[in-house]
Amino acid sequence: MISAVLICLLKNIPIICTGASSYSITVKKYVCIDTPYKESTLYVCKNIPRRNAPTMIQVLIHVPKLYDIILVKVSLFYKFSTYQPFLITVNRDACESIRNPPQFGIEKHVYDIVQETVPELLAPCPSGNRTYNITWYLQDRHAPKNIPAGDYKLQVKLQALPDVPVFGMDVYCSVRSTGIVSKFMLQ
């Protein structure tokens, strides 16, 4: 635990690392949305529960065409009585981000998560003309820092132009603060 915090401090990546120690995320379910897609074929979208480990999602999707521009939209919703837009919205051309990785802010945070967990998605554009078989799960340290505890919906949408949904997913999860970092800092 402490060594993880130290490594983070040394590497100067506070967003990811602070998140690592101060939040615990429990995923209730992953849901593929906007199906069926106009051009992609979704063969598998399933939750894989694991004993003593976070639930994963497996997606097997064929993307037949090649795209030069893929808009990626990441939105976070906080559940009050209904899910309300909250804090994070990324709306960006993924191909441009692959050519010029973002250096700051939430865009960098999202890029770093993708680079660490599904690097195959960062192959230079045009993207597509292949089948993607991806198994993934949302990790505690993916939480941005300083978010309130509660129930969230994280939505990820990939869209080709002009209006072709390539893939979409909702992640329903709850975030609990564990506050380990601040205790550590006080010692």
Ligand X SMILES: *[C@@H]1O[C@H](CO)[C@@H](O)[C@H](O)[C@H]1NC(C)=O
Residue count, binding to ligand X (CB under 6 A): 5
- Residue closer to ligand X, measured from CB, 26 or 58: 58
91 is a site residue for ligand X (CB under 6 A): no
7 is a site residue for ligand X (CB under 6 A): no
133 is a site residue for ligand X (CB under 6 A): yes
Residues 3 and 27: their CA atoms lie apart, in Å, by: 26
Pick from 135, 146, 178, 182: which binds ligand X (CB under 6 A)?
A: 135
Report which of 18, 15, 158 is spatially closest to residue 90, judged by C-alpha positions: 158
Half-sphere exposure of 1 (CA within 13 A, CB side): 10
41 is a site residue for ligand X (CB under 6 A): no
- Residue closer to ligand X, measured from CB, 135 or 178: 135
Pick from 9, 66, 123, 185: which binds ligand X (CB under 6 A)?
A: 66
* Contacting residues toward ligand X, per CB under 6 A: 60, 66, 129, 133, 135
